[in-house]
């Protein structure tokens, strides 16, 4: 047994539980569940009943469990890559502090429990869509796309855009055009969000050997792509109002946020700095969170 394995075996239970919890990427999962919740809320006209609240709570728990399983599996597959990157080298899998088999077992238990909850207590469609999202992220994106193509985040972004669809399906048993509009917004938001991060973390990705866009096509080309995507995203963010999903409240918030994101993208394209790339990345998180929160408020006020 190696020194690291010996140390891991003697770690306090609470410490190991914290390590496992960290592998679920809690902040990312919180945003995923929040976006799924938006899909649930918009799918139910008016105020939800107690049955709606119960169904939504179970669906959120099931989606959280399966999404957490995908995050853990991602950490397991990418442990050697994570070890080379400053942003991820702290993870227990990257440091070798958790056995591969116990990490895989943890992911399997989370996925199995979440899938069972969704199938039995929500509906089979939501379970299959959620499991398909797990496969899309954990296998198709992590194992196949990410190491092979600089367009990995674009294609793989489909999995990350699924939460509102899952939430809508949980409450209605089908997938409506409204859910697809929300999917489109997140799908188009993902590339400028992620590439702004990759721009100032480019050396980490270069060391890891992953073909991220700033590594394969350079800084200037990536900056242009970020700006162009923010413009297309701007148009997509107007679709809930155009389709009749929301009122003027959402429209005003969407215009202000989207103008801000596009302005950051333009500045990044014309005058790059790592500090500005960090600000653009942080604003992208504000953009999506506040945009969906505006949809939520608009739904109940108008």
Residues in CB range of 20: below 8 A, 6 or more apart: 72, 92, 98, 103, 106
CATH number at residue 205: 1.20.120
Residues 132 and 59 in one domain: yes
CATH number at residue 26: 1.10.357.140
Task: Tell me the C-alpha distance between 6 and 230, whole Å.
Answer: 49
Return the pLDDT at 11. Answer: 63
Model pTM score: 0.90
Give the count of beta carbons closer than 10 Å to the beta carbon of residue 129: 20
DSSP string, 18-41: HHHHHHT-HHHHHHHHHHHHHHHH
User: Could you tell me if 19 and 65 lie in one domain?
Assistant: yes
My answer on whether 80 and 181 are in the same domain is no
Host domain of residue 279: 176-302
Cα 131 from Cα 121, distance rounded (Å): 15
| 130 and 228 co-located in one domain | no
**Amino acid 3: pLDDT:** 45
User: Of 95, 94, 78, 93, which Cα lies nearest the Cα of 20?
Assistant: 93
For residues 133 and 223, membership in a common domain is answered with: no
Q: Are residues 117 and 193 in the same domain?
A: no
Of 113, 145, 175, which residue sits at a domain end? 175
Residue 1's pLDDT is what? 45
Rounded Cα distance, 157 and 161, in Å = 6
Mean pLDDT per 10-residue segment, the chain (302 residues):
48 81 92 93 92 96 96 91 82 87 95 97 97 92 85 85 97 95 97 95 87 93 97 98 95 98 98 97 96 94 84
Tell whether 152 and 205 lie within a shared domain.
no
Q: Please give the pLDDT value at position 10.
A: 54
- For residue 200, the Cα-to-chain-centroid distance in whole angstroms is 20
Structure tokens given for 50 = 């107690």
199 with 52, same domain: the answer is: no
Among 124, 151, 175, the domain boundary falls at 175
Same domain, 132 and 255: no
Three-state secondary structure call for residue 54: helix
83 and 117 inside one domain: yes
Number of domains the chain is built from? 2
Distance CA 121, CA 239 (A): 32
Q: Tell me, yes or no, whether 198 and 276 share the same domain.
A: yes
N-to-C CA span, the chain: 63
46 and 18 belong to one structural domain? yes
């Amino acid at each position: 047994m190696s020194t690291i394995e010996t140390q891991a075996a003697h770690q306090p239970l609470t410490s190991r539980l914290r390590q496992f919890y960290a592998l679920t990427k809690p902040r990312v999962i919180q945003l995923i569940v929040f976006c799924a919740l938006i899909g649930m809320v918009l799918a139910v006209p008016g105020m939800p009943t107690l049955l709606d609240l119960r169904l939504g709570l179970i669906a959120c728990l099931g989606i959280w469990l399966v999404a957490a399983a995908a995050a853990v599996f991602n950490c397991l597959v990418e442990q050697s890559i994570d070890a080379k990157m400053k942003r991820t080298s702290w993870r227990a899998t990257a440091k070798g502090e958790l056995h591969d088999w116990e990490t895989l077992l943890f992911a399997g238990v989370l996925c199995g429990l979440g899938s069972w909850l969704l199938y039995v207590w929500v509906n089979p469609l939501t379970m299959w869509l959620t499991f398909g999202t797990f496969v899309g992220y954990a296998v198709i994106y992590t194992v196949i796309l990410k190491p092979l193509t600089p367009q990995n985040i674009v294609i793989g972004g489909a999995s990350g855009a699924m939460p509102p669809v899952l939430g809508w399906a949980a409450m209605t048993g089908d997938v409506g055009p409204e859910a697809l509009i929300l999917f489109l917004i997140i799908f188009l938001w993902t590339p400028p969000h992620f590439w702004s991060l990759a721009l100032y973390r480019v050396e980490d990705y270069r060391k890891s050997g992953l073909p991220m866009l700033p590594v394969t096509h350079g800084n200037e080309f990536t900056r242009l792509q970020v700006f162009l995507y923010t413009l297309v995203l701007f148009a997509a963010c107007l679709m809930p109002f155009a389709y009749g999903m929301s009122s003027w409240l959402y429209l005003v918030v969407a215009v202000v946020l989207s103008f801000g994101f596009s302005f950051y993208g333009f500045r990044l394209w014309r005058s790059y700095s790592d500090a500005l790339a960090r600000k653009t990345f942080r604003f992208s998180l504000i953009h999506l969170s506040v945009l969906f929160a505006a949809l939520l408020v608009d739904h109940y006020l108008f």
